[in-house]
Amino acid sequence: MANTRREAVLLSRMKHSSIVAFRDSFEGDGHLYIIMEFCGGGDLLQRIQQQKNTLFSQDTILKWFAQMCSGTKHIHDKRVLHRDLKSKVRFRVFT
């Protein structure tokens, strides 16, 4: 449980436009619950699957990549290593 509490503290310090926002955390019944910002736009994998056989524009891909890099840099600048970057990670902005 100590590692999970530490993760909640780290999440609470990550404030960046490309990172899903931490809202709160609490313990109950021997579990730690972490409340994060709701991301109704889904994740990157869902967007790729919805697109089917139509290619994304180069500008869209570059914008998403820049957002991912910017968020990752923010995390690294705080001396934290994100160990789970993948297409199923929720994205905050899908415009």
Residue 84 annotated among the catalytic residues of the structure = yes
Amino acid at 88: K
Q: Which is the catalytic residue, given 29, 59, 77, 84?
A: 84
Non-local (6+) Cβ contacts of 26 within 8 A are: 32, 33
Locus of tokens 């993948």: 86
Catalytic residue set: 84
